[in-house]
Structure 1
Amino acid sequence: PSTREDAGSQEDKPTPVHPWPYLEEFFEMVGCKNNSFRMRCKLCAPKYHKLMAFKNSPSNLKKHIEVS
């Protein structure tokens, strides 16, 4: 039987969910910092190009794709 403590420990480590699924083929979510998401550009591989985008706007990511 699960206890209340077990349920709490599962909530401590949420699975990162990509905030913009339509951009998931281009960017891998690396993490979060303050009001931003950290993303890695899959198009720039093998170079490790990390970008940040505000949680309410993927415009940084879209501009990166347009320039690439």
Structure 2
Amino acid sequence: MKPLNAKYTQILWMNVVLLSGGVGYLVYKKFDGNILYGAGAALVIGGLEYVVMGASLRRKQHKEDEVAK
């Protein structure tokens, strides 16, 4: 599949940053300011979100490209 266009790349990165930042902050607060737990949670959630949301957006972009033809 082709790489994501600019529109979907922006959507992907905004979702990854917001979700991982939010979860990382909540874990950081839950474990009394343990920065490593917060950073680890943000990294794991960000990685999962990037893979899953990236696949979903690639599929959506592919459908849009087929309809445009």
TM over 0.5: no
TM-score by length of 1: 0.28
Going by fraction, where is strand more abundant, 1 or 2? 1
TM-score (norm 2): 0.27
RCO comparison, higher one (Cα < 8 Å, 6+):
2
- Specify which structure has the higher proportion of helix: 2
